[in-house]
Amino acid sequence: MGAIHQYRNGQNNRSLLDGIIPYLSFPDTVTYVPTSSDCSLLVHAFDQSRQPWTAEQKSAVTGFATWRVCSDLAGYGFAVSARNCDPAIPKGDTYDPVDRPKGARCDIYDNEINVFGRDPQTGFAARPLDNVGVQYGFTAFNSGTIDAEQFVELNELVGGLDPDGNIVSHRTEANAEVIQRAYRNGRVLSGGGGLPETPIIDWRWYSDDQGDNHDSLQSFITRARLVATNGSAANQVILIDPPASTYMMVGVRKMIDTNVETSVFARRQLDLVEQMDHWLSNVSSDHAAGTPAEKVARDKPADLADACWAVNGRRIAGTAAYDAGECKHIYPQYAHPRIVAGTSLASDILKCDLKPLSYVDYARRLTGEQMRRLGAVFPSGVCDYSRPGLGQQIVQTTWQQYGLQLPSVTGGR
């Protein structure tokens, strides 16, 4: 969570932090929660499926390096479950739909009810959570990794989540007003606000292929948002180290060999702080013309650039790219369920605009009966990711204030 706070403070509360060094970063919580909830739905769908599914096919649908990442994430469904409260809270004080309907609800949205407001139909927090129109496994089907029947049945079985976080047969639909609030109030990292003028050193150990959800994809999601919003990500440096287990062993050997009472991890942290200090000093000394964002970009130290480190310690410099380069070869990035469903790398659409279901979108054959079944799943259409999401907007202002209560969300889609 520390990395999320750094990024969001850079965007929403400029000057609170001069520069940020997010570690094992995620861009924000609001756009990441759908990943864990999608995994819960996919685990349920695979369990109910009549089709045979290999681990490789499940991985292809989720986008992760291994299916295990998504199956483990499904256990984090507590984020949207009203009943998964900390054991420190007396059970008699917590929510139960029958015995304690007025008890404390412990899902992430009720925790932020002052931001999202109340759903007038339930009285609970409104949720910027939506999967209407999402075609799970879309690119896996088009590539031939899964077949037509697997694709169709998967989308029939996925369903959605009710206000208590229980899996139900229908898709989850968010109200457009709460979606707008999530963007307008800076709960979504859009890359705007004060973030373009904030120096960023985004650093992580590589763990994508080790069943860890702290995947390097997240750094590139943030970069894609910075580029989409500002035309550049010159204020962000992405650094990727070898897997922690490998690097820590190197550190242990170094400590034994040299009797140095510090770890590689601590030394790395200190190096990054020194590099950030150098960057900020350059900006502070720059009295030439230019916007704050322009100064941050041009005053970045020459030796501070995108890079990764091989296991043998070799530094590989060059612009970090999601889909190219030597670092990509050594440390490949993967995806998540919504990217496989067709959304962009920026992954910043909470509720997609819809378009009619059409044969032309599919690279592989679907029968008339299969299209009829998909039409029943998507009566209003499927996601059109070539268009902005409903209510999507870029944060323009900083230092916003939130009242103790917001009016209830009203209206329909």
For residue 150, what are the CA distances in angstroms to 83, 297, 336, 368, 413?
33, 48, 18, 16, 30
Helix (H, G, I), strand (E, B) or coil at 28: coil
For residue 163, what are the CA distances in angstroms to 81, 88, 121, 168, 184?
8, 23, 10, 10, 23
Give the burial class of 261: count Cβ atoms within 10 A of its Cβ; 0-12 exposed, 13-18 middle, 19 or more buried.
exposed
Give the burial class of 162: count Cβ atoms within 10 A of its Cβ; 0-12 exposed, 13-18 middle, 19 or more buried.
middle
Residue 411's pLDDT is 44
* Alpha carbon distance 41, 389 (integer Å): 22
* Alpha carbon distance 78, 80 (integer Å): 5
Q: What is the mean pLDDT of residues 296-301?
A: 97
The percent of residues above 90 in pLDDT, for the chain, comes to: 75
Confidence of residue 298 (pLDDT cuts 50, 70, 90): very high
Distance from the first to the final alpha carbon of the chain: 31
pLDDT tens for each residue of 376-389:
999 999 999 999 99
Indicate the pairing of strand 236-241 with strand 307-309: parallel
Q: What is the mean pLDDT of residues 245-254?
A: 49
- Looking at residue 188, the DSSP 8-state letter turns out to be S
Sign of torsion, CA 248 303 320 237? positive
* Alpha carbon distance 224, 339 (integer Å): 13
303 C-beta neighbours (distance < 10 Å), count: 9
Among residues 278, 289, 299, 303, which one has the least CA distance to residue 197?
Answer: 299
Q: Does residue 293 carry a pLDDT above 80? A: yes
Confidence of residue 246 (pLDDT cuts 50, 70, 90): low
Q: What is the mean pLDDT of residues 176-193?
A: 94
Residue 76's pLDDT is 60
Confidence of residue 7 (pLDDT cuts 50, 70, 90): very high
Choice between 77 and 75, residue whose per-residue pLDDT is larger: 75
Q: Does residue 409 carry a pLDDT above 60? A: no
Q: What is the mean pLDDT of residues 161-171?
A: 96
CA atoms in the 13 A half-sphere facing the CB of 134: 34
pLDDT tens for each residue of 130-142:
999 999 999 999 9
Residue 263's pLDDT is 66
Among residues 340, 373, 338, 368, which one has the least CA distance to residue 352?
Answer: 338
Residue 404's pLDDT is 44
Q: Which of 140-149, 210-219, 285-294, 341-350 has the lowest mean pLDDT?
A: 210-219
Indicate the pairing of strand 307-309 with strand 354-355: unpaired
pLDDT tens for each residue of 46-66:
999 999 999 999 999 999 999
226: enclosing H helix or E strand: helix 217-230
* Token code pair at residue 412: 């329909």
Residue 323's pLDDT is 74
**Tokens 């035309």 correspond to what residue?**
231
Q: What is the mean pLDDT of residues 164-175?
A: 95
pLDDT tens for each residue of 270-291:
999 999 999 999 999 999 999 9
Confidence of residue 267 (pLDDT cuts 50, 70, 90): confident
Among residues 235, 212, 279, 261, which one has the least CA distance to residue 72?
Answer: 212
pLDDT tens for each residue of 86-112:
899 999 999 999 999 999 999 999 999
Q: Does residue 373 carry a pLDDT above 60? A: yes
Residue 252's pLDDT is 40
Among residues 244, 222, 248, which one has the least CA distance to residue 25?
Answer: 222
Average pLDDT, the chain: 90
Task: Please report, as a single letter, which amino acid is at residue 33.
Answer: V
Cβ(204)–Cβ(25) under 8 Å?
yes
Q: Does residue 403 carry a pLDDT above 70? A: no
Indicate the pairing of strand 167-168 with strand 200-205: unpaired
Q: Quote the Cα angle for 137-143-149, to 5°.
A: 55
Give the burial class of 250: count Cβ atoms within 10 A of its Cβ; 0-12 exposed, 13-18 middle, 19 or more buried.
middle
At a CB cut-off of 8 Å and minimum separation 6, what does 249 contact? none
The percent of residues above 70 in pLDDT, for the chain, comes to: 91
Choice between 122 and 202, residue whose per-residue pLDDT is larger: 202
Task: Please report, as a single letter, which amino acid is at residue 200.
Answer: I
At a CB cut-off of 8 Å and minimum separation 6, what does 156 contact? 373, 376, 377
**Tokens 């922690």 correspond to what residue?**
244
62: enclosing H helix or E strand: helix 55-62
Choice between 50 and 261, residue whose per-residue pLDDT is larger: 50
Q: Does residue 41 carry a pLDDT above 90? A: yes
* Alpha carbon distance 19, 199 (integer Å): 5
Confidence of residue 318 (pLDDT cuts 50, 70, 90): confident
Confidence of residue 405 (pLDDT cuts 50, 70, 90): very low
State the alpha helices, DSSP H only, in 286-336. Answer: 292-298, 326-330
Residue 247's pLDDT is 53
